[in-house]
């Protein structure tokens, strides 16, 4: 299973990062369509001891795939075969949009990191919702025990003015909530102008309250609602978000999104500068993401579910996040470097650690 890093270096490292991602994702989906899914599910299934409960849902494992890999819900079942306990789709916007001009995805191999300025490229909520409905139905028919959970991450359409952001989020919530196991409000991507301003609690409070009401009403049930925050918030702002989550009785906080910082990188400064603006993800985010998690845990205790994401690469690191207070952990960037058996390897490490 460890041959993939060599394969990546020889076959993918020299290809444009976005194109390489599309090729890899296409191969994963093709394997599923060709009938390999049943074999992969048996080979890569998480140990029963890893089953986890969060906001009323059962997860086969606490480790899942963060938003950004499957932006439009086109490969949920194929990704579930690989051992992820949940797949978070998105970010989805109220209207379809192409995202930012290419190139917009860049590797920093020496740092095991990625810079992206994708800009929420997606088909829009109306196109994605039927895919989610079909995927959840297929998962329900495929898995005897706890099936992988499907989360949906929603963000602001770029063309929508910041003053009209609430209505845009409400459109996405009403359209997608009936097809989602849980919903995430993304106000922390650095790639949509002005979006991070919505993390201000005065703006965030009516946004989250409105989305929750719209989602539950559209779905006819309570849809767990989480908010995803940036690692670049000050400690004071993080404390404010934690208190807001308690006030609104949110189901969870996802910490953290990508960072605009370029501090402490091993890659040469001219190379980093050449890549340009965008959110940095991967190994360099480990320290800050863990620090934010610990601060949130101290603030909310067990009253809000914490989902940790940012720089995790191994089962030991996932367990460290769980020990620090996370109920669920997500990864993405290391998937690009480690290949399709990464989640299964983490699950095996977690199972061994628990023994």
Q: Which among 71, 99, 81 has a CA at the least distance from the CA of 28? A: 81
Give the CA dihedral 104, 189, 158, 67, nearest 10 degrees.
80
Active site includes 289? no
**115 by DSSP, 3-state: which?**
strand
| Of 172, 179, 189, 281, catalytic | 189
Determine contact, residues 128/66, Cβ cutoff 8 Å: no
In the chain, what is the greatest distance between 2 CA atoms, to the nearest angstrom?
53
Pairing of strands 252-255, 305-309: parallel
Residues 6+ apart with CB under 8 A from 217: 174
Return phi, psi of residue 87, to 5°. Answer: -125, 120
Q: Which DSSP string do the residues of 14-50 spell out, in sequence order? A: TS-HHHHHHHHHHHHHHHIIIIIHHHHHHHHPPPGGG
Kindly provide the b/e burial profile for residues 23-42, where b requires at least 16 CB atoms within 10 angstroms of the residue's own CB: ebbeebbebbeeeebeebbe
Which residues have a catalytic role annotated? 189
């Amino acid at each position: 299973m460890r041959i993939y890093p060599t394969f990546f270096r020889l076959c993918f490292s020299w290809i444009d990062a976005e194109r390489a991602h599309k090729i890899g994702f296409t191969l994963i989906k093709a394997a599923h369509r060709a009938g390999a899914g049943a074999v992969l599910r048996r080979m890569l299934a998480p140990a029963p001891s890893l089953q986890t409960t969060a906001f009323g849902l059962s997860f086969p494992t606490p480790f899942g795939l963060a938003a950004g890999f499957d932006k439009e819900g086109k490969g949920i079942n194929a990704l579930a075969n690989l051992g992820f306990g949940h797949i978070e789709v998105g970010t989805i916007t109220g209207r379809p949009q192409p995202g930012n001009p290419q190139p917009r995805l860049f590797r920093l191999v020496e740092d095991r990191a990625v810079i992206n300025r994708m800009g929420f490229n997606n088909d829009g909520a109306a196109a994605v919702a039927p895919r989610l409905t079909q995927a959840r139905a297929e998962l329900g028919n495929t898995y005897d025990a706890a099936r992988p959970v499907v989360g949906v991450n929603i963000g602001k359409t770029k063309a929508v003015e910041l003053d009209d952001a609430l209505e845009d989020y409400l459109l996405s919530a009403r359209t997608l909530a009936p097809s989602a196991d849980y919903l995430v409000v993304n106000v922390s991507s650095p790639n949509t102008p002005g979006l991070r301003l919505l993390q201000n609690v005065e703006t965030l409070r009516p946004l989250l309250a409105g989305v929750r009401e719209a989602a539950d009403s559209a779905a006819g049930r309570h849809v767990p609602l989480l908010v995803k925050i940036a690692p670049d918030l000050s400690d004071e702002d993080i404390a404010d978000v934690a208190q807001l989550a308690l006030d609104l009785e949110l189901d969870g906080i996802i910490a953290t999104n990508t960072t605009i910082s370029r501090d402490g990188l091993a890659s040469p400064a001219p190379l980093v500068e050449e890549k340009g603006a965008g959110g940095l993800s991967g190994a360099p985010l480990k320290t800050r993401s863990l620090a934010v998690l610990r601060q949130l845990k101290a603030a909310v205790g067990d009253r809000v579910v914490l989902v940790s994401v940012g720089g995790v690469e191994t089962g030991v690191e996932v367990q460290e996040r769980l020990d620090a207070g996370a109920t669920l952990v997500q990864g993405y960037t290391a998937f690009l470097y480690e290949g399709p058996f990464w989640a299964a390897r983490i699950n095996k490490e977690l199972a061994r650690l628990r023994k």
